[in-house]
Structure 1
């Protein structure tokens, strides 16, 4: 980030900078609950679910529901018996996702991902 941007953030409370996401991108869609702004209406609509608790995407196998379609898609992999498994090189415990393995490695074996 250029030094001028750091100065702007530090002393101007980032009003315009934050509204544009620091990339010059306009963010005209603003949440009425928390004032977070988005460049697309879809982003605002998805964000609003964090306030309402709405979860319109439901798993047809176990009925678990999600606020985002991409989270349902990721979840559905847990029901696939042929899914690839991430395995710990130390204790050989298996995980359905690589990020779960990374947390395990850090918490159990003290090996942080770099």
Structure 2
């Protein structure tokens, strides 16, 4: 059962990453509400992408830096919701990258 799930994730990994990317852009720029379910689904998709593509922790750190840049830039345009979501995703990516680094160092 687990091997079948791994094969399924590996087979559709490009779609998983694409859905994650589109979902992230939607959540930051177009979703005007804070949705815990959307964040949870996107985090699960990101973790599946990490395992299926064997992504390095530095990719997550790059996404964290981009999220921080979005937050910083939109602060000047008084877009508080985008700024808050960018900052939230900064911490999510930072946390996942740190956990991934600890797991990789073992």
- The two structures have a TM-score, normalised by structure 2, of 0.30
Which structure has the greater CA radius of gyration?
1
TM-score (ref. length: structure 1): 0.29
More strand by share: 1
